[in-house]
Structures are given as structure tokens and as C-alpha cells.
Amino acid sequence: MYHNILVPISFDKERDVSAPMKLAQLLATPEAQITLLHVVEHIPDYAISYLPGDYLKEARQAIQSELSDMASKLPNAKAVVIEGHSGRSILDWAGENHPDLIIIASHRPGMQDLLLGSTAAQVVRHAQCAVHVVR
């Protein structure tokens, strides 16, 4: 049983976010803190000029709202939205907040993952705590 669980959430259509959340509930102690974390990737400067001026602010608010709604369905859960590179930012957040378990969803790896590595693979390789990968 775990006391501080981090569940990175990706809103990609092929990812099932319910499975990691259910697993977090099963593995959590009754007083455990569960954090749902979403990383907003940086948009390159050359692309940002093509977006409406308030796009980033509105997108972040929408993501925070959806993540908070998801967190409200779990006991002792909170929603956190940060910015950066997904793999590195998850690891940095974990380093600062010391979860004892990270539950991360992963897709079926393809050829591009063998060459570049996926977010889940990066977290598994470098996390300082237990990592449970859900497919």
C-alpha cells in the first residue's frame, strides 16, 4: 500500500485514463494523497504566432478544469498542471514531491519508441520510486 501516488495523465485519445486511476485507488492507503499530473508541452515560438493570443491561457484553464473534475472522483486527490517536456517534467515533479509510486499509462511501443523512447520508458528508467506501467 502506498501513501503518496503520482498519476501522470495524458489526454491522447488512445490512452485509457480510467485504468491508472482505478489502480491508484486499489494501491492507496486510506489516507493516501493521489496527484493527477498533466504536463502541457511547450509550443515552439514559430508556431505560437499562428495561435490566438489567449490560446495558452484558455487551454491551460480547460485542462485544469478537466483534471480537477477527474480528481474529484478519487479520495484525497488533487489536480496539478505544469509546463515542460513530459518525461523530464514528471521526473522533476516527482523529485520535488517524493511520491512512493508513479502509475503511468503507456501505449504499445512502435519503432519510433525504440529510437526515441516514450515518456513511460523515460519515467521507468529514471524515477527514484516504484513505477507501475498500465497498458
By CB atoms closer than 10 A (0-12, 13-18, 19+), residue 67 is buried
Separation of alpha carbons 41 and 19, rounded Å: 23
Question: Which of 51-55, 115-119, 131-135 is predicted most confidently?
Answer: 131-135
Q: What is the mean pLDDT of residues 96-105?
A: 97
Contacts of 106 (CB under 8 A, 6+ apart): 118, 120, 121, 133, 134, 135
CATH (residue range 2-37+62-134): 3.40.50.620
pLDDT at 3: 98
| Closest residue by Cα to residue 36 from 5, 58, 75 | 5
Q: Which residue has the higher pLDDT, 86 or 108?
A: 86
State the pTM of this model. 0.91
pLDDT at 116: 44
Half-sphere exposure of 133 (CA within 13 A, CB side): 14
By CB atoms closer than 10 A (0-12, 13-18, 19+), residue 11 is exposed
Q: Which residue has the higher pLDDT, 116 or 44?
A: 44
Q: Which residue has the higher pLDDT, 117 or 49?
A: 49
Q: What is the domain partition of the chain in residue ranges?
A: 2-37+62-134
pLDDT at 104: 95
| % of residues, the chain, pLDDT over 90 | 72
pLDDT at 115: 45
